[in-house]
A and B are shown apart, each in its own frame.
Chain A
Amino acid sequence: MREAEAGDAPRFLDRLRAGETAAFEELVITYQHRVFGVAVRMLGNAAEAQEVAQEAFLRAHRGLAEFRGDAKLSTWLYAITSRLCLNRLATAERRHHRQGEEALVRLAGGERPDAAAERGELEAALHRAIAELPEERRIVVVLRDLEGLAYEEIAEVLDLELGTVRSRLHRARADLKDKLERFLP
């Protein structure tokens, strides 16, 4: 679980709840790439992902005093980020936006498809295949195969039954297998 264990140390949580600026900065440093990673793979746009990731940290900052510590900090942050992404994808503005080419923007650097082609057809095809998944399946495959969360943790993040997670993950992988068939050995 990468840096999660360090982030969940009781003393660190106490510092966060006390509103210590340095502790919050440490939290952002620890989880910035994971929070941004989920956002950018869900939204397909680096600028929008940065905005959502920042909002996720700010919401966490405002809610830290009430964070009971029942879940891991990482799970809590993934939950906030996933909810923000799904909400944004559900808005009419976002649906309109996705009709444009922005939906196929390169993930990490916000590059456009032509630039992505230069970095490898396979990588571009992978990102495109993920971006084309239905949102409820995409979030599951991102959390499992790109972020490495366990089924139980995904269920907690998305507030889903374990069976639903399994089912959605299987459908997502089956979709991706069909889309990436030509790249399989």
Chain B
Amino acid sequence: MTCHDTRESLSAFLDEALAPEERREVAAHLESCADCRRELARLEQTVALLRRVEPARAPVGFVDRVTEAARPRPWYRRAAGAIFVPFAVKLPAEATALVMVALLAVYVFERTPVLQESARQEPPALETMHEKVAGPARVEPSPPRSAESPAIARKREQDRRDTGGTAPGLAPPAPASPKPDAAPAPPLPTPRSETTPAPSAPAPPAPAGARVGGELAKEAESRRAENRQPPTESSADAARGAAPASRLAAKRAAPGDVVAGITVRDRDAAERDLSDLVARVGGRETGRRREEEATVVEAIVPQARYAEFTQGLARLGAWRVEAERPDLPAQVRVILRLQ
């Protein structure tokens, strides 16, 4: 056995941790090697020094602290500990997670149109109601009544008569002008659902719901017709085809904030009173369409005076709101059906 091998085993030799054969070999080498014996002695003295180190003692109260910590805690403290402890790690992580969830929610909200529609709390039937009330709307923005000359109004009225009152693209006559051929007002207020034909109607009209459905069907048909327009069609036909498209675009761009119906005794008088009312509250009419059974008026009214406007409507006749946005804008777009 070499000195190097012997010295590698000296520590175990001291502790009597060598196998008998190895121990004999180390002992034999030590008998013949003074350097290794000296090394063994230094190692033995070092170990003796180490064993002089006083045993460490746990601090006073250590047992109490450990047993106290080992005692089962109430469930709510365990839950709080599991959620928040260690604070240095968990609180920042939880705050980060919260922020990320919030950002994710915003991201999902912005990417999901359905959620945005819901958030606006728009009555789902508002657009539909607008379409129903307006029917195949012929309403187009018209200048203020005061700016329209009587000659133009008469021309419009003449055109309306020529086209049976349903010519597309024509605005109704100004309410202030006399209407010799205006249909007589029904003797009693007629609810929309009433099926009794109007006295002046040349043919028994369909029930209101069916009529509206028929109008929708007509509009759908006109949309299909637009799609079928051949490029060689005459300019007049093209103009007729283009008009519904522009009306549709207008309706989609500016749906009504409020849709209401008013049952009046005298429709002509009510139209005039309504015009005055709109002007009085600082609003303006944006469209008017006169039909056999009803007159549809679109107007914009300042939201600040909307309450006053509704009080005025109540004086015109029995009125009912059919659809209304919960959050009215500064300029409230109102669609009224006088009948």
Contacts and interface: CB of A to CB of B under 8 A. Distances in A.
A33 interface: yes
Given A41-B56, A108-B57, A166-B11, A173 B46 contact: yes
Interface residues of B, number: 31
Nearest to A171: B11
Interface string B44-56: 0111011111111
A57 B66 contact: yes
User: Chain A: interface secondary structure?
Assistant: helix
Contacts of A167: 8
Given A57-B66, A151-B17, A169 B11 contact: yes
B232 interface: no
A28 B63 contact: yes
B181 interface: no
Contacts of A176: 46, 49-50
Given A33-B56, A173-B43, A184-B42, A126 B67 contact: no
A107 interface: yes
B55 A37 contact: yes
A36 B17 contact: no
B49 A180 contact: yes
Contacts of B54: 108
B50 A146 contact: yes
Contact of B45 (A108, A126, A145, A185): A185
B62 A36 contact: yes
Contacts of B43: 173-174, 177
A170 interface: yes
B233 interface: no
Nearest to A41: B56
A122 interface: yes
Interface in A23-38: 24-25, 28-29, 32-33, 35-37
Interface stretch (A3-11, A46-54, A67-75, A83-91): A46-54
A24 B67 contact: yes
A178 B26 CA distance: 22
Given A25-B63, A50-B62, A177-B42, A36 B57 contact: yes
B333 to A, nearest CB: 66
A180 B56 contact: no
A36 to B, nearest CB: 4
A123 B59 CA distance: 20
Contacts of B59: 36, 46, 50
Interface in A151-184: 151, 166-167, 169-170, 173-174, 176-177, 180-181, 183-184
A40 interface: yes
Contacts of B47: 145, 173
A61 interface: yes
A37 B50 contact: no
Contact of B46 (A25, A41, A144, A184): A184
A33 B60 CA distance: 11
A58 interface: yes
A41 B11 CA distance: 21
Interface of B: 8-12, 15, 17, 42-43, 45-47, 49-59, 62-63, 65-67, 69-71
27 contacts: A21-B71, A28-B63, A33-B56, A33-B57, A33-B58, A36-B58, A36-B59, A37-B56, A41-B56, A54-B62, A54-B66, A58-B69, A108-B56, A126-B52, A127-B53, A144-B15, A145-B47, A151-B15, A166-B12, A166-B17, A167-B8, A170-B11, A173-B47, A176-B46, A177-B42, A180-B46, A184-B49
Interface of A: 21, 24-25, 28-29, 32-33, 35-37, 40-41, 46, 50, 53-54, 57-58, 61, 107-108, 122-123, 126-127, 130, 141, 144-146, 150-151, 166-167, 169-170, 173-174, 176-177, 180-181, 183-185
Given A50-B58, A53-B58, 5 more contacts: A41-B56, A145-B51, A146-B50, A146-B51, A150-B17
